[in-house]
Amino acid sequence: MLLALKSRRTIRHFKDQPISEEQIHKIIEADRYSPTATNLQNVRYTVLIGNTMREFERVSMAAIRKVIGLAKPFSSAAKTTRIEDDFLFHHAPVAILISAKKSPMDRFGADVNGALAAAHMETQAESMGLGVLVSGFTIISMKISRKARKTIGLERGEKPVACLVIGYPSIKHRRIPPRKEAKIRIR
């Protein structure tokens, strides 16, 4: 298991090959058994495919381009970020948005529960030979654009937490990426 986790790579190049509904359900099923804070089981999934995926990307990219344009005078990262039309989904066939309904009893549970869901789903997708990109810019777009949230039907109080962009990888990495040493404190 540790070798599989060490070998995990972000994929931004996908084959033009669909993913079946059965595969999507299997990826989501992997999360149903992940832990949730106070057993809330408040994680929700929005599967983006086809025209809905393209429309969401169009709306989201408009918001992201606006923010990056405003940030360029102040941020070197904004100046060097290349924003293309496929910036969020990289021509992948599926994106799964993970959201969690906020609970008044649990202040941070939505974030934790969504992150645990994403980790379980990512591991399951990779065990099926699929590649995954965790798209942080997708979450940013929903935080800055009501229209993006509306496009996919997020409800009031439903917090977008992670977006997994999934498809068959068109490239194969052959080495484990270098990592910094773990900083561990045992007391």
pLDDT for 89 equals 94
Q: Which three-class secondary structure state does DSSP give residue 182?
A: coil
Q: How high is the pLDDT of residue 148?
A: 92
pLDDT tens digits for 127-184?
Answer: 999 999 999 989 999 999 999 999 999 988 888 999 999 999 998 877 777 888 888 8
Angle at 184 between CA 179 and CA 187, to 5 degrees: 175
Measure Cα distances from 183 to 178, 180, 186 in Å.
15, 9, 10
- Going by pLDDT thresholds of 50, 70 and 90, the confidence category of residue 5 is low
Q: Radius of gyration over alpha carbons of the chain, in Å?
A: 17
All domains of the chain, ordered by start, with CATH?
8-167 (3.40.109.10)
Residue spans of beta strands (DSSP E) within the chain: 43-48, 94-101, 131-134, 158-167
Reply yes or no on whether the pLDDT at 1 is more than 70: no
Q: Please state the pTM of the whole predicted model.
A: 0.87
167 touches 14 (CB < 8 A): yes
pLDDT of residue 4: 63
The answer to whether the beta carbons of residues 134 and 105 sit under 8 Å apart is no
Confidence at 100, pLDDT banded by 50, 70, 90? confident
Summarised one tens digit per residue, pLDDT across range 51-87 is: 999 999 999 999 888 888 888 888 888 788 777 878 8
**Cβ-contact 26, 129 below 8 angstroms:** no
- Render pLDDT for 105-116 as a digit per residue (tens, 0 to 9): 666 677 888 888
Q: Mean per-residue pLDDT for 92-99?
A: 95
